[in-house]
A and B are shown apart, each in its own frame.
Chain A
Amino acid sequence: MTGKPLKPKVLVVGAGPGGYVAAIRAGQLGLETVIVEGDRPGGTCLTRGCIPSKAIIHAAGVYEETAKAAGEGGYLGIRLESAPRLDLAETASWKDGIVDRLSGGVSALLRKAQVTQISGWAAFSDAKTCTVETGEGIVKIEPEHVILATGSAPVELPALPFSDARILSSTEALDMKALPGSLAVVGAGYIGLELGIAFAKMGVHVALVEAAERILPLYDEALTRPVRDWLLAHDVELHLQARAMGLSAKGLDIETAQGDRFTLPAEKILVTIGRRPATEGWGLENMAIEMDGRFIKVDERCATSTRNVWAIGDVTGEPMLAHRASAQGEMVAEIIAGRRRRFDPAAIPAICFTEPEIVSVGLDRPGEGHVTGQFPFMANGRALSMDAGAGFVRTIADRNSGRILGIQGVGRHISELAGEFVALIEMGATLEDVAGIIHAHPTLGEAFHESALKALGHAIHI
């Protein structure tokens, strides 16, 4: 195909949760929109991140409980005569079914919004000229506006290249067809912990290697303690203040803080030391765009230094979270359509799907002039009835105004409370507001209600 160049109003580069949302919104607003994606629609989040990992984590949880029931003494009175058998290939195909369904759904939504989808990798020769090599030939696109939503990729360690079959990034880890006997995880951030815990639940011997002195070093320690307790109770090896040095025949060579070197036996090694913005290989250097360190520099409207070139999502910086990218994408489409918008969230929620789960919204640890209320799930009926007594909810508020500044929690299923937490912070709720909201019984949300009461000095159930 070597026809005339396409001249849409908007070109979106990358169909992840930032790009596809921007394109759908632009289409809704009547803007002629083209989206380019070399992979399937959905991006990292949908095809090799959030969604597939949640599927694997769920399957691992079911397997673990079933295995408990088959173990000595059973589980909650349930006894199985024989141990469950896990066929990871089948689990993976179930997971792939979910991904297929969602990716197809994104494609359908784009079509419904009249967005032209072009399959191939974009390359810019200048800020307003893009060519895409598609299966049907080269397509040239000369848009009025460009939205860069190229996302991010796992960071590789030079000593542990992803090209080695034993070294996995999160992508390969989610696509394994058979369980390894042992797995070393380098980097105990949220991705490493989520996957490490899932594989531990599936019966893999897991060892975590972390350079910092504790797991999830970006989170308040109190929040990470129940996760650490779970790791210790389930024989997950923890090597803190340790560095991965390289590969040997038996596994992973590490060096401890004391300078001791030894080899962690590991069939596979999962490297989850972070993600880097995808700024290479598509002509960013030809676009004369100002950078902010590794990231594309944007203002509060996601405008880059080049007029009518916008950037959203992971490529613009932390926090690298799908919901941030989506919110930015929606906003940029509206700005292009002539609306006056800026990105000014009061909070962006963050969740770790570990065991137990962690949620943090807004201010993540109390400071001067703040009041805190914490309520344990051990005192919540619903939590106990789900065998989920570990953890707590904590509310941080301004002492004078009572305005809620941050809400965190750690506990099973607590991720579903993130919506209430962020809504209250965005709406500017005070502790008295929460105290006056009737929370349904019996639910985990009651623990949050009680944490606000606690901050006010009159919790009922503690």
Chain B
Amino acid sequence: MARYHFRLPDVGEGVTEAEIVAWHVKPGDAIREDQNLADVMTDKATVEMTSPVDGTVVAVNGEIGAMIPVGSVLVELEVEGEGNAGAEVAAAPAATPAPSAPPPPEPRDSGGGGVSAAAAQPSVASSSPAPTPRAPARVDIPVGRNEIFAAPATRRRAYELGIPLQFVPGTGPGGRILPSDLDDFIAAGGMARAPGGLAPRMGGEDVKIVGLRRRIAEKMQEAKRRIPHIAYVEEVDVTQIEALRAEMNARAAEGSPRLTMLPFLVKALVRALPDFPQVNSRFDDDHDVLHMSEAVHVGIATQTPAGLMVPVVRHAEALTLAEIAREIARLAAAARDGTAKREELSGSTITITSLGPLGGIATTPIINHPEVAIIGPNRIVEKPVVQGQFVSVRKVMNISSSFDHRIVDGYDAARFIQALRRLIEHPALIFMGEGE
């Protein structure tokens, strides 16, 4: 018998760490080769970690939500024959599966014990769970106790006014909420509502932000922090392109996909971008290098049950309209059911974010860092439009867009969107003169 250390493998280009999102084994489990040990998540994709050997799990390292570096030991196994663990590990005392399970939940003092009559209740504090190793004592005042950290008259007044005291900062000794703290809170507009009337909703829920949501949060924060966004919104007449789309859908060939506005927009981008190479790029601002791309890899922002994902239509310039439509549908489905591969979720050079009928009249989209532009078509509406002497009903859509103002000047941003507008308003221009 020997030890085998399963280390977090290199799960993708440039990935240095991954987040554990699920454990499928626990210490003591006998496992087979190719059995799933854990799911880890990188920037974009969730990857299953499968065991390369048969063996028994001795230890799993890291709790769900933990970020672990590539190369660190994820699972320790006991295997027949030779292991891969070094001598220092082979000398480890455990010959049988060691009970090195993830640490048990931390015991918490019951807050209730502090606020009720001693005589009336059996010991709360004395029945504490078995001691477990934990960090040095840290006082964790439960909300209930915090809320009560005010004199009775203050508590009563707050309750009458419908103010949950846990939101009132206490300035007294030890954080006590003084009558004046309550006055200040009310004066600052913190008062929940007028006295009487409907009951306030109390409580709430704390949710640990992990997995994709954490990824989204980090990504958005990074983009907003690093990139000075400039937003630009233009109105586009889509009557013609909508007529074309309707016509193509009405006489679709067998097996060809139903066309939405998106593939047309991708096509228009492909057509417009060569004149604006800085817009189709990735900005490595750590090294002050702009990687302009001839290929057009279009990210398509996609809502999935887990949250926002951005699968990528690669080499859109080499795809026909139908192929683009098919690829968008395939990628969206893969993103939604969690089977999208990492390569399918990275490498875009420009991104489209569309909420379709929910698109509103304008948005200020956040750039998909390290790209420099994002295009957000809004809702299509029918509007009276003045054309010469006539007013006619036209289908009109706004295009909202954001650009990295470090790279794209306002002038160029405007010219690019105007070029896009010209193509969309005169869809023949998108398709004529290919290879021109």
Interface residues of A (CB under 8 A from B): 190, 218-220, 318-321, 324, 339-342, 344-350, 352, 360-369, 398-403, 405-406, 408, 426-428, 430, 432-433
Closest to B148 in A: A346
Q: How far is A362 from B155 in the complex, measured between Cα atoms in Å? A: 17
With contacts A398-B174, A427-B151, A428-B174 taken as known, whether A345 is within 8 angstroms of B137 at the C-beta atoms is no
In the complex, residue of chain A having the shortest beta-carbon distance to the beta carbon of B137 = A369
Q: Do A360 and B173 touch across chains, with their CB atoms under 8 A apart?
A: no
Whether A406 pairs with B159 at a CB distance below 8 angstroms is no
Among A344, A346, A347, A365, the residue within 8 A (CB) of B126 is: A365
Contact (Cβ within 8 A) B119 A403: no
A367 near B113 with CB under 8 A, answer yes
Binding site for A on B (CB under 8 A): 109, 113-123, 125-126, 128, 137-141, 148-152, 155-156, 159-160, 172-177, 195-196
Residues of B within 8 A of A433 (CB): 173
> Can you list 9 A-B pairs with a CB-CB distance of less than 8 A?
A219-B119, A318-B121, A321-B119, A345-B115, A360-B118, A362-B114, A363-B113, A364-B125, A398-B139
List, in ascending order, chain A residues with CB within 8 A of B175's CB. Answer: 401, 403
Query: Across the two chains, which residue of chain B brings its CB closest to A352?
Result: B119
Contact present for A430 and B116 (CB under 8 Å):
no
Let me know if A348 and B174 touch, CB within 8 A: no
Question: Which of A324, A362, A400, A428 touches B176 (beta carbons < 8 Å)?
Answer: A428
Is A340's CB under 8 angstroms from B114's CB? no
Which residues of the other chain, A, contact B148 by a CB distance below 8 angstroms?
344, 346
Identify which of B115, B123, B156, B195 contacts A365 (C-beta below 8 A). B123
**Contact of A218 with B122 in the complex, beta carbons under 8 Å:** yes
Q: Is the CB of A321 within 8 A of B116?
A: no
Contact A402 B115 (CB under 8 A): no
Q: Is B118 a contact partner of A362 (Cβ separation < 8 A)?
A: yes
Find out whether the CB atom of A321 lies under 8 angstroms from the CB atom of B114: no
Contact of A347 among B117, B138, B156 (CB under 8 A): B117
By the criterion CB–CB under 8 Å, are B125 and A362 in contact? no
From B114, B160, B177, residue with most partner A Cβ within 10 Å: B114
Contacting residues, chain B, for A401 (C-beta < 8 A): 139, 141, 173-175
Chain B residues with Cβ below 8 Å from A342 are: 159
Give CA–CA (A340, B109) in the complex, Å: 31
Interface of B is mostly: loop
* A364 CA to B116 CA, complexed, in Å: 9
Q: Are B195 and A340 in contact (CB under 8 A)?
A: yes
Looking at the assembled complex, report how far the CB atom of B110 sits from the nearest CB atom of chain A, in whole angstroms. 9
Residues of B within 8 A of A324 (CB): 117
Enumerate the 9 nearest inter-chain pairs by beta-carbon distance, A residue then B residue, closest first: A319-B120, A350-B119, A364-B118, A401-B174, A360-B118, A348-B117, A318-B120, A428-B176, A319-B117
Complex partner residue of A402 from B118, B128, B150, B174, CB under 8 angstroms:
B174
Contacts of A346 in B (CB 8 A): 115, 148, 152
- From A319, A368, A428, contact of B119 by CB (8 A): A319
List of A residues within 8 angstroms of B196 by Cβ: 340
Nearest-neighbor residue (CB-CB) of A399 within chain B = B139
Which residue of the partner chain B has the closest CB to A432? B173
CA gap between A219 and B123 in the complex, in Å: 8
The docked-state distance in angstroms from the alpha carbon of A324 to that of B272 is 79
Q: Which of B128, B159, B173 contacts A430 (CB 8 A)?
A: B173
Q: Is the CB of A430 within 8 A of B174?
A: yes
Give chain A residues whose Cβ lies under 8 Å from the Cβ of B126. 365
> Closest CB-CB distance, B50 to chain A, in whole Å?
42
The contact of A340 among B139, B160, B172, B176, by CB within 8 Å, is B160
Report whether A341 and B149 are in contact in the complex, using a CB–CB cutoff of 8 Å. no
Considering only CB atoms, which chain B residue lies closest to A362 in the complex? B114
Residues of B contacting A321 in the complex (Cβ-Cβ under 8 angstroms): 117, 119-120
> Least Cβ distance of A300 to chain B in Å?
10
Name the residue of chain A whose CB is nearest to the CB of B144: A344
With a cutoff of 8 Å between Cβ atoms, the chain A residues found around residue B141 in the complex are 398, 401
How far apart sit A406 and B118, CA to CA, in the bound complex (Å)? 9
- The answer to whether B109 and A403 have CB atoms under 8 Å apart is no
Residues of A near B117 (CB, < 8 A) are 318-319, 321, 324, 347-350, 360-361
B151 close to A426 (CB less than 8 A): yes
Please give me the residue from chain A that is nearest to B195 by CB atom: A340
The answer on a CB contact under 8 Å between A399 and B137 is yes
A427 to B148, CA, bound (A): 10
Additional pairs, 14, CB under 8 Å, beyond known A220-B118, A321-B117, A340-B160 = A218-B120, A218-B122, A319-B116, A324-B117, A340-B196, A350-B119, A361-B118, A367-B109, A368-B109, A399-B139, A401-B175, A403-B149, A403-B174, A428-B151
Q: Are B123 and A402 in contact (CB under 8 A)?
A: no
CA distance A337 to B174 in the complex (A): 36
A320, closest chain B residue (CB): B120
Least CB distance from A409 to B in Å reads 12
Contact A360 B119 (CB under 8 A): yes
Q: Give the docked Cα–Cα distance between A77 and B403 (Å).
A: 99
In the bound complex, residues from chain A placing their C-beta under 8 Å from that of B173 are: 401-402, 430, 432-433
A348 near B159 (CB under 8 angstroms)? no
Give B163 Cβ to nearest chain A Cβ, in Å.
Answer: 12
**A365–B119 CB distance below 8 A:** no
Instruction: Knowing A340-B160, A350-B119, say if A363 contacts B125 (CB, 8 Å).
Output: yes
